[in-house]
Chains A and B, each alone.
Chain A
Amino acid sequence: MWKDLGLNLEKHDVLLNALAKGYGDLFMTQKNRPAGMGYFDFVISEVHGLRIKELVDRKKAGKKIIGAFCLYVPEELVYAADATMVGLCGGADFSIPDAETVLPRNICPLVKSFFGFKVGATCPYFNSCDMVVGETTCDAKKKVYEVLADYTPTYVMEIPHKVDTEQSKALWLSEIKLFKQQMETLTGNVIEKDSLKEAIRLINEKKKAMKRVSDTRKASPTPISGLDALLVNQVSFYDDVNRFTLKTNELADELEKRNADGVGVGDPSKPRLMFSGCPMAIPNWKLHSIIESTGVPVVAEESCIGSRYFTDLVEPKGDSMDSLLEAIWDRYHNISCACFTPNDDRVTKVVDMAREYNASGVVYNVLQYCHTYNIEAIKVDKALKAAGVPMLKVETDYGSEDVEQIRTRVEAFTEMLRPV
C-alpha cells in the first residue's frame, strides 16, 4: 500500500518513530486523562496506518480524496459530492529541510512543512489526494500553491479580504459555485440539494460535538488538558466524520460528568490561559506542551484548530440550492482570519472568549513570518488590556532551540498573573 502511494519509505519510518516517541512523552505521561482520549490515542497510533487504508479503500471504490489546509474550503461541498476531505500535514520540523531545497527559508514554517511533506514524499495523506484545494488567504500559501501545482493537482479558491461589502459577497459566492462545479467535474457526481443538505447536517453535527467538548473547559478545574483538547481538534481534520462525531460526543459526555463530579486535571488555584493566534497543524504541540509543563492549563484555543472551526454552523434560511450556498458563504465569511481587513470582529471574539472561558491571561501564538497574525496582535493586545486580561505574545517556529526561553517567558507571565 505504501509503495503504491509513492512514499519515501525510509524517511517515512524516521518520521513515524519520532512521532511515536514525541506522542508518548507528551500525551501518555499526563495524569488523570479522560478515558475517552483512548480513542484519539488509537487514531494517532493508526494515523499513518488504518486511516490511510480506509482512504485507499475509498479510492479503490472510485471515490475522491481532497486535501486542504484552510477552513475556508467548504467541506460540505466535498462531502456532498461523495468525496472525502483531509487536512494535510504541516506541523512538523521534520519536513522543513526537504522544503528548503526548493522554497526560500524565510517564510512560514507551516507552509514550508506541508510543502516539504510533498517534496520529500513523507505524508501518506498528501500522496492519497486526488486534488489539493488552496485559497488566497496569506501570501506565503498563495504563492506556494503555484509551485505546488508542479507536484500535484492543485485548485485555488479566491478568498476576498475585505469581507463586509456586497462585491466581496458576490465574489465569494461565485467562488463557492465554481468550487461546486470543480467538485462535480472531479467526482462525476452532480451535487443535488438533498446531498448538500445531508453534508451540511453531517459537518454541523461534527462541529456541535467539538463545541460540547470545548464548552466543558469553562469549568474549574478544567476536565481535560489543553493538549488533549488540541489533539481532538487536530484529529477532526483526518478522521472519518461520523465516527469522529460519535467518539467526540462520548468524550463530551464523560467531560460533562467529570464537571458534575468536580473532577478535573491540574490545580484550580493556578491561572487559566487561553491560546489565540496562528493554527497548530498536527503534530505541532509545542506551545501547549510548554505552557502545560509549567502546571498551568490551556482552557481554550481561538484558532483555526480550535474555536474558529467549530463555533458557527451552516444554517440555511431556505430550501433552494441558492440559499444553501448562501448559508455556506454566511458561515465561512464569519471565520475571522487575520488575512481580513479590517478585522475588528476577531478582536471582539478574542475578548469575549477570554471572558467566557474565565481566562486569566492569553498566550498569543505567532508562527514565524506570519505578518497578519503578528501585526494583528497589536489590536488584540490593546483590547485585552482594556478588558483587564494580560497577553503574552510568543513568536516561534517548529524548532526546539527556543523551548527553554519560551518556558521562562510563560512562567514569568503566570507569576505576573498570580504574584508569588
Chain B
Amino acid sequence: MAVAGVDIGAVATKVAILADGKVLSFQILPSGYDGNGAARRALRVALEESHLARGDIDFIVSTGYGRKVFSEANKSVTEITAHAEGAKAVCPSARTILDIGGQDSKAISLTEDGQVANFVMNDRCAAGTGRFIEVMARVLHVRVAKMGELALKSANPARINSMCTVFSESEVISLLTNGRSREDVAAGLCESIARRVSIMVRYVGVRESVVFSGGVAKNVGMVAALEKELKTKLLIPPEPQIIGAFGAATIAQKSLEKEEVATSSLRVEGGYHVTAIPAGPLPRGSVPPRVEGAAPRLGDSTG
C-alpha cells in the first residue's frame, strides 16, 4: 500500500511517497504562484522515481500553507500536526520540535505518548524565517546553501539587533560598510534569528530530544547558533525539509489503515525501490538518503 504526503509551503512544495512506513521517493519544487500546479508536478516526478502510477497511491494528505488548494488530496492537516507526526516518525524520542520554513516558524511540544501538547507559531511577520535568510544572503552575495558555512568561519559574530527584514538589511549594510567581514555578519544573523526563535522553543518548553526541521535546518550556521542559544543538542533529520510531507504521508497511512479500505487487491505488488528514509531514530550526521534523479538542487530552497 502506497500513500503520499504533500506539503505546499510558502516557498517550496514537498512530496513524499511512502510504502510500508518507508519513503520510496521525495521531491522538492518551488511553490511559485500556483501551489496546486507545483504539488501536481512534484507528485508526478516522485511517482516516476518510485516506479508507481497515480492509481497506486491509495491516500494523499496535504499540509502546509497551500494545503486547501491541492485538489487531489483526500484530507488535509495543518503543518503543526504534520511536522509533529513526521518528526516523531524519524525520531521517536522527540519531545520538542522546532521547524523553520520559508514563511513561518513554529515550536511544538509533544506529550510522552507523542501527541501535540502545545505549540506556538510566529504571528503575521516572516522575521526569523527562511525568507529573512534569503534576503540577507542576497545582501551578503552568498548562496543561501552556503551561508551557514560562511557563518561558521566567524570567530567574532556581529551583533544584529533588528528582527525586521527591512531594518536588518539596513543594519547589515551599515556593518559591512563599517568594515565587518561577511563571515561575522552571517554569524551575527544566525545568532539574531536563534535568539528570536529560541524564545518560542522555551515558551513550549525545551525537552529532549529536540528536533530541528524545515529548510532552515540545512543551514549549519543556524544549527550551531541555536545549539549555543538553547544549550542543547539538536537532532537534524537527514532531509529536514521533507518532514512535513513525510508526516502528512504517515497520517495518510494511518488514515488508510483506519478506513480499512480493501483496495490493496487492486494494486500491483512488488517493484518498489525502497532505499530512502527508514522509520526510526536517525542520529544527526547520518548520510542523507540519495534518491536517483532528484532534480532540484536541495540547498537552493529554504522552506
Using a CB–CB cutoff of 8 Å, the interface residues on chain A facing chain B are 390, 395, 401-402, 404-405, 408-409, 411-412, 415-416, 419-420
Contact = CB atoms under 8 A, between A and B. Distances in A.
B246 interface: no
Contacts of B119: 412, 416
Nearest to A401: B124
Nearest to A411: B78
A409 B81 CA distance: 11
Contacts of A415: 77-78, 80-81, 116
Contacts of B116: 412, 415-416, 419
A412 B123 contact: no
A408 B124 CA distance: 12
Contacts of A404: 65
B73 to A, nearest CB: 13
B115 A412 contact: no
A402 B77 contact: no
- The range of chain B's interface size is 10 to 19
Interface string B102-124: 00100000000001111101011
B202 to A, nearest CB: 15
Interface in B109-164: 115-119, 121, 123-124
A412 B124 contact: no
B79 interface: yes
A411 B68 CA distance: 12
Contacts of A420: 75, 77, 81, 251, 254-255
Contacts of A412: 78-81, 116, 119, 121
A405 B65 CA distance: 9
Contacts of A409: 121
The 5 tightest CB contacts between A and B, nearest first, are A412-B80, A412-B78, A402-B124, A416-B116, A415-B81
Nearest to A390: B118
Give the residue among A401, A402, A412, A419 with the most B Cβ atoms within 10 A: A412
Contacts of A390: 118
A409 B80 CA distance: 8
B124 A416 contact: no
A290 to B, nearest CB: 13
Contacts, number: 44
Contacts of A401: 124
A98 B255 CA distance: 51
A409 B116 CA distance: 13
B115 A416 contact: yes
Contacts of A402: 123-124
A174 B88 CA distance: 62
A402 B255 CA distance: 30
A395 B123 contact: yes
Nearest to A416: B116
Interface string B233-268: 000000000000000000100110000000000000
B105 to A, nearest CB: 12
Contacts of B65: 404, 408
Given A408-B121, A416-B119, A420-B81, 4 more contacts: A401-B124, A404-B65, A408-B80, A419-B116
30 contacts: A390-B118, A401-B124, A402-B123, A402-B124, A404-B65, A405-B121, A405-B123, A405-B124, A408-B78, A408-B80, A408-B121, A411-B78, A412-B78, A412-B79, A412-B80, A412-B119, A412-B121, A415-B77, A415-B80, A415-B81, A416-B117, A416-B119, A419-B81, A419-B115, A419-B116, A420-B77, A420-B81, A420-B251, A420-B254, A420-B255
Contacts of A416: 80-81, 115-117, 119
A366 to B, nearest CB: 11
B6 to A, nearest CB: 15
A393 to B, nearest CB: 9
A416 B115 CA distance: 7
Contacts of B121: 405, 408-409, 412
A390 B117 CA distance: 9
B158 to A, nearest CB: 29
A405 B120 CA distance: 12
Interface string B77-101: 1111100000000000000000000
A419 B124 CA distance: 26
Contacts of A408: 65, 78-80, 121
A390 B119 CA distance: 11
B278 to A, nearest CB: 24
A399 to B, nearest CB: 9
Nearest to B115: A419
Nearest to B76: A411
Contacts of B124: 401-402, 405
Contacts of A405: 104, 121, 123-124
Interface centre among B75, B115, B116 (most CB of A within 10 A): B116
Contacts of B79: 408, 412
Contacts of B104: 405
